[in-house]
């Protein structure tokens, strides 16, 4: 078994880069939307066969055992080569959660099935009236002997139509004094009777999100992770990691490069007004790179991310949104065409970037909520 952490950083980077460049399907590079299981299954199984499906899991459980520095190199090389996300909730959320908080029975049952592609997980957090204010969730799980009986609804559930299982936050004590209390973390089989999944088409016509309904769905009490009514602590820790991944500058850097191609082909750099806008965006991306590096250093040191990581999510998503808007403006009439358009021999998908940027300030906790977190938890301002 290879000890990847014993490698030098540049040697490891080259190893990862070579594997991606030689094995990742070229037609799947930089996809304009989240790929469905049927499209990405081949790559998922290629990573599984290589033993690279779960980079941060300990080798004891089938992972690569990467330390924070090596893991960030792994992610950077994925982004550099335009490698699409697989259905990764099992690897990035469920697996680490079970390794830290799960029972031995849960680990031995669920972890191998994730690595074999038998279990695909989705996240049951947001509800119609509990999105960014997640602690207000109302989906209930009532104990009935050895089972929970679940009723309620989850929404904006990414790729739920492909998932075999869902990890959920449910309210198990409706009498709790604080809304963050009385919430439990539960694992549920999506084939359970009473579950209905309804895809939600987005503005681009893709069905990346779903709403999921629970009508007297039964799940074994053994499927609870951690203690009863203590699920909020687990969920909160997972959200910090989500915000640093959403804050990567690679998306904005790639979009800025596409914008530069458009601008040069259309002679926009001769326009001082456009040049001023483009320069401002260049500086925004440079600032994003700098802020991201600061939080990366925290992860490298093995420290816990604080509430100020919300700044990263705000800056990344709003910068990407501004770049995508200027792309549409710069492309002129071609900015209304769905799919890739040729600009002097360079294919650029203008409209998909614009569409994809619209929900970015909303998912992962709206940017308004992120600003509230910074105001209260970082600046100490009153509620």
Long-range contact pairs involving 347-353 (C-beta distance under 8 Å, separation at least 24): 348/258, 348/261, 348/262, 349/32, 350/258, 350/262, 351/204, 352/32, 352/33, 352/204, 353/32, 353/255, 353/258, 353/323, 353/324, 353/327
CB of 121 within 8 A of CB of 54?
A: no
Long-range contact pairs involving 91-94 (C-beta distance under 8 Å, separation at least 24): 91/53, 91/54, 91/55, 91/57, 92/241, 92/245, 93/121, 93/123, 93/167, 93/238, 94/121, 94/167, 94/187
Active site residue 181: no
CB of 312 within 8 A of CB of 296?
A: no
CA gap 99, 238 in Å, rounded? 13
Active-site entry in 207, 242, 260, 318: 242
Any idea which residues carry the catalytic annotation?
Answer: 242
């Amino acid at each position: 078994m290879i000890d990847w952490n014993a490698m030098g950083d540049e040697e490891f980077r080259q190893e990862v880069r070579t594997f991606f460049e030689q094995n990742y399907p070229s037609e799947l590079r930089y996809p304009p939307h989240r790929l469905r299981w049927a499209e990405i299954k081949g790559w998922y199984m290629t990573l599984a066969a290589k033993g690279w499906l779960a980079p941060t899991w300990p080798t004891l459980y089938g992972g690569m055992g990467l330390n924070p520095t090596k893991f960030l190199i792994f992610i950077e090389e994925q982004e550099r080569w335009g490698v699409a996300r697989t259905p990764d909730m099992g690897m990035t959320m469920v697996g680490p959660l079970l390794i830290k908080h799960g029972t031995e029975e849960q680990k031995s049952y669920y972890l191998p099935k994730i690595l074999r592609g038998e279990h695909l997980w989705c996240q049951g957090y947001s509800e119609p009236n509990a999105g960014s204010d997640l602690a207000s969730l109302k989906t209930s799980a009532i104990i009935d002997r050895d089972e929970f009986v679940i009723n309620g609804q989850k929404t904006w559930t990414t790729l739920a139509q492909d998932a075999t299982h869902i990890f959920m936050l449910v309210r198990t004590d409706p009498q709790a004094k604080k809304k963050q209390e009385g919430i439990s973390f539960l694992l549920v089989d999506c084939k359970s009777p009473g579950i209905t999944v309804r895809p939600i088409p987005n503005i681009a016509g893709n069905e990346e999100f779903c709403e999921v309904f629970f009508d007297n769905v039964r799940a074994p009490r053994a499927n609870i992770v951690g203690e009863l009514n203590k699920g909020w602590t687990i969920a909160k820790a997972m959200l910090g990691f989500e915000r640093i991944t959403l804050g990567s500058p690679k998306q904005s850097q790639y979009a800025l490069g596409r914008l530069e191609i458009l601008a040069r082909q259309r002679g926009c750099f001769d326009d001082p007004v456009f040049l001023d806008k483009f320069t401002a965006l260049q500086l925004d991306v440079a600032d994003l790179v700098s802020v991201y590096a600061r939080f990366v250093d925290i992860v490298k040191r093995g420290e816990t991310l604080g509430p100020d990581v919300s700044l990263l999510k705000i800056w990344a998503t709003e910068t990407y949104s501004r770049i995508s808007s200027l792309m549409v403006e710069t492309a002129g009439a071609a900015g209304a065409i769905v799919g890739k358009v040729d600009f002097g021999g360079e294919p650029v998908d203008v409209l998909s970037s614009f569409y994809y940027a619209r929900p970015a300030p909303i998912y992962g906790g709206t940017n308004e909520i992120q600003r509230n977190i910074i105001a209260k938890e970082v600046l100490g301002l009153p509620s």
